[in-house]
């Protein structure tokens, strides 16, 4: 059973999808043992506490240059095998990503390589997709390296775009139809394949 840490900054809907997938037996080769947030008021921390999961807050502004050192220390002290970035609004450097190579996964709300990389997060991704006029978008789970959204793709799922979509309606549909489905599946796959 692999120890999973989920890194969060906001509401924690993707965290909740993983917690639900554990309960439903979809994620069975690993268990969330730690939730870390850079935001002390993230609702994701409440979700974790409600599920009996240990939480840690590492405030990036306060820690400044020692943020990643503290993050590495926290991962090692808790014997973390797999790290999931679930709406974690911090770019991690090569110092961190190389330390946990092929053990950090992220979910991105588009079909990479479209609408990804620096500046593409949250509603910005869906605004760009609608502005460009694509007919299909979706979500991608990928390994994390030092390049934002640059790691090897693990899983993708397409979602159709409708004519009357707004960035908000599209974001909701991508979460419900793609992110919340493939993130737990990809996590189980990575946990199962990790030696």
Class of domain 2-193: alpha beta
Exactly one of 108, 124, 126, 142 is catalytic; name it: 108
DSSP 87: S
Q: Give the pLDDT score at 45.
A: 97
Residue 108 catalytic?
yes
Task: Please give the Cα distance from 190 to 128 (Å, whole number).
Answer: 30
Tokens 């974790």 locate to 48
State mean pLDDT over 83-108.
Answer: 94
Contact 30, 188 (CB under 8 A): yes
Does the structure show a pLDDT above 90 at 134?
A: yes
Q: Give the pLDDT score at 64.
A: 85
Task: Please give the Cα distance from 155 to 42 (Å, whole number).
Answer: 27
Contact 127, 144 (CB under 8 A): no
pLDDT confidence tier of residue 61, bands split at 50, 70 and 90 = confident
Contact 12, 37 (CB under 8 A): no
Structural domain boundaries of the chain?
Answer: 2-193
Q: Measuring CA to CA, which residue among 119, 26, 36 is closest to residue 76?
A: 36
pLDDT confidence tier of residue 60, bands split at 50, 70 and 90 = confident
- Using CA of residue 9, residue 14, residue 17, residue 18, what is the dihedral sign? negative
Contact 87, 14 (CB under 8 A): yes
pLDDT tens digit sequence for 101-126: 999 999 999 999 999 998 899 899 99
Q: Give the pLDDT score at 195.
A: 78
């Amino acid at each position: 059973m692999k120890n999973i840490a989920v890194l969060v900054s906001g509401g924690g809907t993707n965290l909740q999808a993983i917690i639900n997938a554990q309960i439903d037996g979809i994620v069975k080769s690993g268990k969330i043992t730690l939730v870390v947030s850079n935001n002390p008021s993230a609702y994701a921390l409440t979700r974790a506490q409600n599920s009996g999961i240990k939480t840690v807050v590492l405030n990036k502004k306060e820690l400044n240059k020692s943020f990643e050192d503290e993050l590495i220390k926290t991962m090692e002290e808790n014997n973390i095998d797999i790290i999931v970035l679930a709406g974690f609004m911090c770019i991690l450097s090569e110092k961190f990503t190389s330390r946990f190579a092929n053990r950090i996964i992220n979910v991105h709300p588009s079909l990479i390589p479209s609408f990804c990389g620096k500046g593409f997060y949250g509603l910005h991704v869906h605004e760009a997709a609608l502005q460009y006029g694509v007919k299909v978008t979706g979500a991608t789970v990928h390994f994390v390296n030092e390049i934002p959204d640059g790691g090897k793709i693990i899983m993708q799922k397409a979602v159709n775009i409708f004519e009357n979509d707004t960035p908000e309606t599209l974001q909701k549909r991508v979460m419900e139809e793609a992110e919340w489905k493939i993130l737990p599946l990809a996590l189980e796959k990575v946990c199962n394949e990790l030696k």
